[in-house]
Amino acid sequence: MLQWTGARISEVLALTPAAINVESGVASILTLKRRKRVVRQVPLPPQFLRELNRAFRLRIAQRDPQLATLRLWCFSRSTASRYVKAVMAAAGITGLPAMPKGLRHGFGVAAFQSNVPPHLVQRRLGHTSLRTTAIYAEVVGPEERSIAKRMWSRKA
């Protein structure tokens, strides 16, 4: 969920079956960094949505008023972070990208590299300021080399 939404780990941990619209393929994510209540609609890839529905029986849970409001993941933020780090280590990902915030950063960078308009990246990440979102457009390292290669291939 972190990879596909760019959400903060605390926002993902707050998700309930009621927050996932299986038909429209959208997750309603409550932005937890603001004082006022802001819910953003983030589209999910169809394959991921099918796996999420299968794993959590979302459609069944949504029919039950009590189950619909229970969190999907019932563990703490620190436990979730340990799980993410373990999966990243198993995948051979190390350093700063190997943590929940690394997935959020990767989402933002990938969005800009895929030419998603900045205002949509801003909305999906739940930023109030486009200036904050612009950080993800300022890529370095492998991402910057990838962009440079795309530029060079257009001129050749």
What is the domain-level CATH number for residue 119?
1.10.443.10
**For 14-33, what is the mean pLDDT?**
94
pLDDT of 155 strictly over 70: no
pLDDT in tens, 28-58: 999 887 778 889 999 999 999 999 999 999 9
**Reduced 3-state DSSP string for the chain:** CHHHHCCCHHHHHCCCHHHEECCCCEEEEEECCCCCCEEEEEECCHHHHHHHHHHHCHHHHHHCCCHHHCCCCCCCHHHHHHHHHHHHHHCCCCCCCCCHHHHHHHHHHHHHHCCCCHHHHHHHHCCCCHHHHHHHHCCCCHHHHHHHHHHHHHHC
| Confidence (pTM) | 0.81
Looking at the 3D structure of the chain, how many domains does it have?
A: 1
Range of the domain at 94: 2-155
